[in-house]
Amino acid sequence: MNLTSPFSIALIIITALAFLGLPIGLSMMAGSILYLYLAGADMGTVAEQFLNGMYSNYVILSVPLFILAAEFMNIGSMTERLLAFCNVLVGRFRGGLAHVNIVQSIVFAGMSGSAVADAAGSGRMMQAMMTKNGRYTPSYAAALTAVTSVVGPIIPPSIPMVIYALVSDASIGYLFIAGMVPGLLMAALQMVQVAITAHRKNFPVEEPVALREIPRITLRAFPALMMPVVLLGCIYTGITTPTEAAALAAAYALVISLVIYRSISWGAFYDSTLLSAKSSASIGLLIAGSLVFNYVVTIENIPETIKVMLTSWDLSPTSFLILVNVLLLLLGCVLEGTAILLIIVPVFIPTAQALGIDMVHFGVVVVVNIMLGLVTPPYGLLLFIMTNISGAPVRDIIRDAMPFILWMVVSLIIITFMPDFVLWLPRLLGYQG
């Protein structure tokens, strides 16, 4: 690579600005503007790409709406009621609260689509419940909450899958369906690890819920439990698009918390709206920067160049997927997941298509890799969030998370090399891939 070429200089500037602390979205915009200046291209192209990309992609609107739905869910009593219901299901087993932590992640997965929202919302409550009276160490509770939150964006709805659909033009509906079985597999393997550890360390058994209490607890949680049913049912029956369903999810969470549970104050409503706006703006800035930078990448013909290079290596679909997994797992240790989806993944897509790899299957593989990056050291975002919530040293959280991470890698291997395992449910519902 010529280090004095406009593209090389742009990459150096983007990297330098990012290391200096400038948001990666702004760094990509700055580097792209410099590239266009050095290449003698029209500087107005930056604004054109930004506006065309942000305003012509209707699917982007679902991202802030899913974030808003998660915030409305967390400020109401929905979380508390759902945790009580999960305790009815699995709390009676040894290590019951640890199992509850996993089951609640499955339930919340059908509502928010964000691992960070799950960890910061229900995860905070699970941390307090598990460490009460010293039943579990803070580091184990934090590690478990971090790895279970990863399940959220794999089971639909999923913000990372929405972003992948944006860059790959794959069907969001079928991506959502394809994530169900892999997400449940990952949760099941996490429960296996909890059961092994529970018997080895003699974890406590929670007091069983009286049979007469079960109908009352279920009834209290029923409106919240219907949220994923309403959300996914509207998508898969064709009543709404995924973006419209995201708006419906936010409205449903607000109505349930405000009208039925009556658990939202005006102050909490304002705070949650403000927080979701900040989170949405952060993601929007990253998407905007990537749209401009991807235009630069297209001008430089980088995807086609990489496609030709990988084709010359005579890679099979299996060896290509192994290469992608290794690269994404390594990048996930040092880069934020959305940045990987918007910058790195589009480069792989032409080669994946040329090799005949199904785009829905490839999307699930990519998203699982991205989610693993949230809990892999040294820069796993969920590890630092749970360190802040629990007060436990990050090294202890990493130690307790490692057995779960190994099971998650096993899940990734199954998902990667058994595409029919991922695609059988979408095909059952009409997918032709």
**Where are the chain's structural domains?**
44-428
Whether residue 37 is predicted with pLDDT greater than 60 in this model: the reply is yes
Nearest residue to 297 via CA among 337, 350, 244: 350
Cis peptide before 157 (omega within 30 of 0): yes
- The length of the chain is 433
Whether residue 211 is predicted with pLDDT greater than 60 in this model: the reply is yes
Token pair in block for residue 170: 């794959």
pLDDT score of 56: 61
Nearest residue to 28 via CA among 38, 18, 19, 37: 18
pTM equals: 0.79
CA distance 296 to 343: 11
Give the pLDDT band (50/70/90) at residue 76: low
Residue 353's CB is within 10 A of a number of other CB atoms, namely 14
Name the residue type at position 117. A
Q: What is the pLDDT of residues 251-266, one digit of tens each?
A: 888 888 888 877 777 8
pLDDT score of 72: 79
Contacts of 391 by beta carbon, 8 Å cutoff, 6+ apart: 138
DSSP of 237-277: TTSS-HHHHHHHHHHHHHHIIIIIS----HHHHHHHHHHHH
Average pLDDT over residues 409-419: 94
Residue 314's CB is within 10 A of a number of other CB atoms, namely 7
Q: What is the pLDDT of residues 266-283, one digit of tens each?
A: 888 888 888 888 877 877
CA distance 361 to 356: 11
Whether residue 426 is predicted with pLDDT greater than 80 in this model: the reply is yes
Token pair in block for residue 20: 């200096």
Average per-residue pLDDT in the chain? 81
DSSP-derived 3-state class of residue 123: helix
Whether residue 95 is predicted with pLDDT greater than 80 in this model: the reply is no
| Contact present, 376 and 343 (Cβ < 8 Å) | no
pLDDT score of 120: 64
Q: What is the pLDDT of residues 155-210, one digit of tens each?
A: 887 888 888 988 888 888 899 899 999 999 999 999 999 989 888 888 777 777 77
Whether residue 45 is predicted with pLDDT greater than 80 in this model: the reply is no
Exposed e or buried b for every residue in 179-213, given b needs 16+ CB within 10 A?
A: bbbbbebbbebbbebbbebbeeeebbebeebeeee
